[in-house]
Amino acid sequence: MSILGSSANNPGDTLILVDPEDREIGFLSKEECHRGAGVLHRAFSVFLFNAQNEILLQQRSAQKPLWPLYWSNSCCSHPRRGETVEAAALRRVREELSLHCNLTFLYKFEYQARFEDVGAEHELCWVFAGFADGVVTANAAEIAACRYVSPEDLSAEIAASPQIFTPWVKLEWTEISARHLPAIPARLSASKPAVRSR
């Protein structure tokens, strides 16, 4: 199946449709992918750690149609047509945060979440951890604010105020904190010398 949306000539606005096994089945515009209950497409989420083992969070821009001003993980977006997921994640970290990093793949999962009557996310999401110790320069078109938080404080904040966080970061942090967090510092340590700020 091949589906092309109205923005097929703009690679930044064309998302990769997949089946539940993450097999590519076509392409559709970002706008159409997020209408109604959403159309399943490939995406990624990045959790960046600093030298103090704190996690970089971003508050989504007020201009975002879905979950504006909600707190979320360091970076999340979609690969372009013909682009690997890891290459897309590295590109978006540079574009949104002006950081360079190395990434470690953790896991992937499917989720679906609706935002009021505006639209929805339905994603097959690849989740990465990375190390970045440069100066964050947030892209104001994407991000309202950034802050670092310890893993313990993030768990406490999500438990106390789940309504201020995006649905995907809550799902991802539950999995990361339960299954991946103890090993993340060791897995990222080898990447630290290669990391530079932009």
**pLDDT above 80 for 88:** yes
The chain-wide mean pLDDT, for the chain, equals 89
Q: Across the strands, what pairs with 126?
A: 44, 108
CB 125 within 8 A of CB 110: yes
Q: Is the pTM of this model over 0.85?
A: yes
DSSP for 1-21, please give it: -----TTTT-GGGEEEEE-TT
SS3 sequence of 105-146:
EEEEEEEEEEECCCEEEEEEEEEEEEECCCCCCCCCCCEEEE
Higher pLDDT among residues 197 and 38, named by residue? 38
CB 73 within 8 A of CB 45: yes
**pLDDT above 90 for 43:** yes
Domains of the chain: 11-194 (3.90.79.10)
- Check residue 183 and report its DSSP letter: G
Predicted local distance difference test score (pLDDT) of residue 10: 56
Predicted local distance difference test score (pLDDT) of residue 153: 97
CB 6 within 8 A of CB 32: yes
Catalytic residue among 76, 96, 121, 125: 76
Smallest Cα–Cα separation from 191: which of 105, 134, 132, 150?
132
CB 44 within 8 A of CB 142: no
Predicted local distance difference test score (pLDDT) of residue 132: 87
Predicted local distance difference test score (pLDDT) of residue 11: 55
Q: Is 146 part of the annotated catalytic residue set?
A: no
Q: How far apart are CA 133 and CA 148, in angstroms?
A: 11
Catalytic residue among 32, 96, 121, 123: 123
Smallest Cα–Cα separation from 107: which of 171, 192, 19?
171
**pLDDT tens, 169-195?**
999 999 999 999 988 877 776 555 443
Q: Is 33 part of the annotated catalytic residue set?
A: no
Interhelix angle 151-160/167-175, nearest 10 degrees: 130
Q: What is the CA 187 to chain-centroid distance, rounded?
A: 19
